[in-house]
Chain A
């Protein structure tokens, strides 16, 4: 049975082997985490070539510093923490087009479509566009929660911030998205909930 505890123990063993320069263990860890790291990075900075480089930068850092890993956090938390740190460094000085949702020119266009019936896929495409306009701080909390499935204490460890900060950022991210969702006509029924 591959429980979360089994996986955690297995990953701890891999890290111990990597600390002894075991490339096979690095391959196992790479196969499990590189796709997740890549997904996190690419969604934060939208630069495929740079994202590929950053994945290898993260893995190289794991290769070099595995001996220093003390196991005080889960391996996955440690790896995503490295990825997040390097991603923030990469985007430092880089100012993405963070137009406020309320100021978004597309906002008016789509608002005029409220009466139109949209498919779920259309709604998701529009929501992704809205997510891209969130700040880095809000976006990373959303990604770590809904794509990577971390708890708020785990996200606090990855971001190296208090748990309440994580909750607050999620709250604000939702508040920025909510008006857009309502204008798009996303209701409990659309989302598969109970009306």
Chain B
């Protein structure tokens, strides 16, 4: 080390923080340079003056720590309040809540269902360019489809049978009334049918359904054997009440 270096490090020799090697070199240099003792004495005096805390110097407020604790309490309460406010704002009006800056996670963000639907509307109908009345019409159509679709899944009153005309048979099994579903040979003539009904004292009350069956009401408690044996009758089933 040269003289400049020793001079620069003299302050830390005085405060005792030089490492062993530096200290040994410094002491050797001081021994060889008696004039440096004057500067070391000046530094010692400076050190003593700086290190001394005089009576007229202000002292740390003894209540400082309590004040610090109060500051920490206030800050924590403010943080809790901010968190509560964020929760309330998010639940009441999420669109009004200031959204945090998006953070790049390295993966594209997957849009939500609402966002996908909005994008599909935009691509399909150019939604933002569609006039308001047209938007109402489109939305009304979708609403109608939704209502009708939902109605299909509602429990339906069980129809006794189906008819080709689309009308459901209004006559179902009633206590004390004998109803029979009857299938007839397609080659049967109207005269043969009238004769059959008259002999069996039967009245057609419904049909034909999708299978071509009629529902007839019998005057007797049970179908007569002649009805069962008639060559034109291909199906006969009593409707149970």
Binding site for A on B (CB under 8 A): 7-9, 11-12, 14-18, 37-54, 57-61, 64-65, 67-69, 71-72, 75
Contacts and interface: CB of A to CB of B under 8 A. Distances in A.
Interface residues of A, number: 50
A129 to B, nearest CB: 11
Contacts, number: 121
B57 A42 contact: yes
Given A190-B45, A193-B37, 16 more contacts: A30-B68, A35-B60, A39-B53, A42-B57, A48-B58, A56-B67, A60-B71, A124-B48, A145-B47, A146-B15, A149-B17, A154-B17, A174-B43, A191-B41, A191-B48, A193-B44
A69 interface: no
A11 interface: no
B49 A127 contact: yes
Contacts of A38: 59-60
Given A55-B64, A177-B46, A188-B41, A145 B15 contact: yes
Interface in A17-72: 23, 26-27, 30-31, 34-35, 38-39, 42, 48, 51-52, 55-56, 59-60, 63
A149 B45 contact: no
A192 interface: yes
Chain B residues touching A, majority SS: helix
A128 interface: yes
Interface of A: 23, 26-27, 30-31, 34-35, 38-39, 42, 48, 51-52, 55-56, 59-60, 63, 123-124, 127-128, 131, 142-143, 145-147, 149-152, 154, 167-168, 170-171, 174, 177-178, 181, 186-194
Contact of B65 (A34, A48, A147): A34
